[in-house]
Amino acid sequence: MARIGTKFVVAATLAGLLLPAAALAQRDPAYAAARAAGQVGEKMDGYLGYVVSPSAALRAVVEDINIKRKAVYADKAKANSATVEEYALTSGCLLIAQTKPGEKYQAPDGSWQTRTAAPPLRDARCP
């Protein structure tokens, strides 16, 4: 479990550094189209997941994004004396909070939900 101090440091760092990276990923037309179509969504663990079986091309795009996310999580976790898992969970919390109505995200029970105007369901460990 993440320590409260670590959660704060990780959340603050992610807010400034990771979220612009997520915006850059959305510039990929294949990713943007898949996200808009509800084929991929934000998972609680900080990575993208497949809501439906992906094409090979979409799988390649999402795997590339997830590899880049993991590298960021590893670097930032080390710099903040946190684990990669703590950093990724906090990232997942923030990325799910940033979803827009109509986009898919993973709820705490593991099910895929479609974001409405209401706040998304998030893990109790979220900052």
pLDDT in tens, the chain (127 residues): 444 455 545 454 555 545 544 554 556 898 999 999 999 999 999 999 999 999 999 999 999 999 999 999 999 999 999 999 999 999 999 999 999 999 999 999 999 999 999 999 999 999 8
The residue extents of the domains of the chain are 4-109
Angle, vertex CA 124, rays to CA 38 and CA 120, nearest 5: 30
Segment holding 56, helix H or strand E: helix 56-79
> Which letter does DSSP use for residue 52 in this model?
S
Query: pTM for the full model?
Result: 0.80
